[in-house]
Amino acid sequence: MANLRWIRNLAIFLILSNFLVFALLLDLSALHGYAQLAERVRIYETMRANILEKESNNQLGGRVLLNAKERVVNELIMLEKQHELELGLKNISHFQVAQHFFRSFEKIGNTTLFQNLKTMPKGGVLHAHDMALCSSEYLLSLTYREHLWICVAKSETQEYKMLRFSLLQPQHEESCEWSLLSELRQSVLSDAVDKKLLAQLTMYPLEHFPNEDTVWKRFRSIFRLVVGLLTYAPVWSDYIYKALEEFYADGVQYLEIRSVLPILYDLSGGNYTLLNTTRVMRDADLRFRASYPDWIGSRLIYAPTRKVSDARFVEYLGNALLLKSHFPDYFAGFDLVGWEDEGRPLHDYARELLALQDEIHFYFHAGETNWYGTNTDENLLDAVLLGTKRIGHGLALLKHPEVLQLARLRNVAIEINPISNQVLQYIGDLRTHPASVLFAVNYPVVIASDDPSFWKATPLTHDFYMAFMVIASRKADLGLLKQLASNSITYGAFSGNEREAAFEKWHKRWNQWIDNINTKL
């Protein structure tokens, strides 16, 4: 019995010993597993931090070094930005920038961030059209001048179709009837006339249109309404000067105006040409420079419509050469404007444009479309091959990686117009704007306003605000804003010496702005 008990105890001992050994091995294995997992987590977190840091450094403005004073301002700017973004992250309905501009611009204008951006020296606007520069309130004030006639539609809507200064009633129009505006204001309540005029001078408040045809029909109706008002010779001079004042007040120091160069008129039937139109613009700029020494200047990009015959296009190029010879310091280059989907593609005019490639600088609108694989988006390729210095809009650029690579190789900047893209229904929520990718890869872009008057926007601040808040990364800071302002001078139509002087004027105002904010803190 004793032997059996001894054998049983030995068996139990062996079993327990093996169990302890097994348990010990499990513990060692677990410790090894924990150590291995910890190493994996460390590598993962390190790689994640490195990638995010690399992306941050490589994005637009990511390598801009801020001095001590700028870093203080940056903290303020970023607190304001993060505050607005946090509201959106908690409840998207409270995030103004994700909404249509017409629903958000008044609230945006009341934010501290917007007020700081408004006074910020933003460099230049390199993409703005002649008939849509000044505020609609200023345009309304012009309608109180003498001898202004208005053509009212014969339809039930009684829309205002055209405006024209004249001593006598203008020629008969089939679709509308002419009346002196002063008499219309007497027969109808003046406030009602002004309210209706203001409604027709902008796209506001119409957020949605059935298709591109209707949105562009509405857009072009504004041009038709204002052209007779603005091309009256005494008004054109005042209008251009007022435009410079409004842009300057919005933190802009340089402006490139795309103009169709409409032929001016007066009450006595004066004989005007596009040279007269240009001279008035140039003289307004010279007067403005004399009054505002830190104003860098303005320049003309001659930009007639893109939907014309070959013969008419050759005439356009002749005009461009004429302008260059008469105004070498004011004429910047050539473009074609109008609804790109409807107009003729650049490829149609390639031969004529190549012949003048060394004589005239090109600044082509291209890729302002939602189509893919059409003549419209392929305008991007033709623009780059034809030697364009910049591309206007370029919304379809990401759909053409070879063109994007070639454009970057040739250092072709893209003119981004956020609010225009939304109002004309190319983009809905601006968080989805394709320019976000360009920002992420540090592609050379500039922010412009296109036709700010037509969407009740400021000359540039609203577009800067939109770009900073949602097109750029949430983490993009003052370095981005400084880079965007700097880009507008880097890619402006300057010679070497002019660019250096322009940078000097901008840097001076930038430093003053930084000092002013620091003083208030």
pLDDT digits (tens, 9 = 90+) for 158-204: 899 999 999 999 988 888 999 999 999 998 888 999 999 999 999 99
Residue 362 carries which DSSP code? B
Identify the band that residue 29 occupies on the pLDDT scale cut at 50, 70 and 90.
Answer: low
What Rg value do the Cα atoms of the chain yield, rounded?
A: 31
Average pLDDT on 446-474 reads: 97
Q: What CATH superfamily is the domain 85-134+236-520?
A: Metal-dependent hydrolases (3.20.20.140)
- Per DSSP, the three-state class of 302 is strand
Helix (H) or strand (E) holding 179, with range, is strand 176-180
The whole-number pLDDT of residue 461 equals 98
Helix (H) or strand (E) holding 180, with range, is strand 176-180
Per-residue CA distances from 175 to 152, 155, 197, 224, 283 (Å):
8, 8, 18, 13, 38
Least-confidence region, from 12-16, 210-214, 300-304, 395-399: 12-16
Q: Rounded distance, CA 365 to CA 444, Å?
A: 16
- Average pLDDT of the chain, as a whole number: 93
Tokens 């005009």 correspond to 319
Domain spans of the chain, in order of start:
85-134+236-520
Which of residues 270 and 315 earns the better pLDDT score? 315
E-strand ranges in 310-447 read 331-334, 363-366, 390-393, 413-416, 445-447
End-to-end alpha-carbon separation of the chain, Å?
96
* Amino acid, res. 362: F
pLDDT at 26 over 70: no
Identify the band that residue 5 occupies on the pLDDT scale cut at 50, 70 and 90.
Answer: low
Q: Rounded distance, CA 453 to CA 131, Å?
A: 9
HSE (side-chain half, CA atoms, 13 Å) at 25: 6
Average pLDDT on 120-143 reads: 98
pLDDT digits (tens, 9 = 90+) for 249-296: 999 999 999 999 999 999 988 889 999 999 999 999 999 999 999 999
* Amino acid, res. 508: K
* Amino acid, res. 493: A
The whole-number pLDDT of residue 451 equals 97
pLDDT at 409 over 70: yes
Q: Tokens standing for 205? A: 């408040």
User: Rounded to two decimals, what is the model's pTM?
Assistant: 0.92
Dihedral of alpha carbons 39, 41, 46, 48, sign = positive
pLDDT at 102 over 50: yes
The whole-number pLDDT of residue 92 equals 82
Average pLDDT on 80-101 reads: 87
Least-confidence region, from 147-161, 380-394, 411-425: 147-161
DSSP 255-301: EEEEE--PPPB-TT-----HHHHHHHHHHHHHHHHHH-TT--EEEEE
Pairing of strands 124-129, 390-393: unpaired
Q: Rounded distance, CA 63 to CA 288, Å?
A: 35
Which of residues 26 and 297 earns the better pLDDT score? 297
Dihedral of alpha carbons 378, 381, 382, 388, sign = positive
pLDDT at 143 over 70: yes
Catalytic residue set: 368, 393
The whole-number pLDDT of residue 238 equals 98
